[in-house]
Amino acid sequence: MRRIDCARIREAVTAELVRINREIGPDVLSALESGLRTEESPVGRSVLGQLIENDHIAAREGRAICQDTGMVVAFVTLGQEVHLTGGSFREALDGAVRDAYREARLRNSVVRDPLFDRSNTGDNTPAVLHLDLVPGDGLTIDLMAKGFGSENMSALAMLSPAEGEEGVRRLVVDTVRKAGPNPCPPVIVGVGLGGTFEQAALLSKKALFRPLGEPSPDPRYAALEASLLADINRLGIGPAGLGGRITSLAVHIETGPTHIASIPAAVNISCHASRHGRVIL
């Protein structure tokens, strides 16, 4: 049995949340730079240049990449041999969000209730927490600061098996088309296929954690990812929705077994400010 103190978790998660709000990942930066080289539209190139400059300034000056500092999502993979000590995991996680957003002066973007009390919680808590229990004594926390301009443009459909690959293609491309400029393109498109209604949504969110440039390990889905990316980039939405070819930097598909009667299909969109990181303890 390995002991991990909750104070240590809080400290490590705080540091990572501050970092991801200031430093865009090298995978995203390199995809933006590659987009700058291939974008045909002069306006699109200008937007991509500004996004890259913004990311450099944020990292250099310790400023937030975007004013929408997002809602924190944590995918926690906890080994069954771990004994958490010194408090509750939930309090460590929310404490880290509180500390990070205060320390780095990040905007608090969370309200208490979706309908009847939209007052700000004042510290960006609570985080959204997903837990996976695995063998072993490790603890991995994948973190995302998820902006909602893009979250709002996400979609889910319970497709019939007969709709097949074509149905999935239609859903993904139509979702990006309808979103237009709203999710702050160039976007990253996470697609979750399979499981149940809620599992598909989780898979689509997980897909956004995969480093850009890393295709699905299944060659059939890797080919579908590449083909969907090409279709999306023919829509003409372009950087910031001002026209051009670079509407999306990547399409990632994650899958799981599902029921004989369905293809649950979810599309979760991330903006170019795709802020994600990992804590391993």
Q: Which positions lie near ligand SF4, rule CB under 6 A?
A: 66, 68, 70, 147, 149-150, 183-184, 271, 273
Least distance (Å) between residue 179 CB and ligand SF4: 10
Prior bond to 264 cis, omega within 30?
no
Least distance (Å) between residue 104 CB and ligand SF4: 15
How far apart (Å, rounded) are the C-alpha atoms in residues 239 and 48? 7
Q: Which of these, 167, 161, 180, 148, lies nearest to 228 by C-alpha position? A: 167
Burial grade of 245 (CB within 10 A; 0-12, 13-18, 19 or more): buried
- Residue 106 or 172: which CB sits closer to ligand SF4? 106
- Residue 150 or 175: which CB sits closer to ligand SF4? 150
Q: Do the strands 263-270 and 187-195 form a parallel or antiparallel pair, or are they unpaired?
A: antiparallel
Least distance (Å) between residue 154 CB and ligand SF4: 11
Least distance (Å) between residue 51 CB and ligand SF4: 9
Residue with the closest Cβ to ligand SF4?
Answer: 147
Q: Which of these, 194, 204, 199, 224, lies nearest to 155 by C-alpha position? A: 204
- Residue 85 or 152: which CB sits closer to ligand SF4? 152
- Residue 150 or 216: which CB sits closer to ligand SF4? 150
- Residue 228 or 273: which CB sits closer to ligand SF4? 273
Least distance (Å) between residue 182 CB and ligand SF4: 8
How far apart (Å, rounded) are the C-alpha atoms in residues 248 and 236? 11
Structure tokens at 165: 């690959």
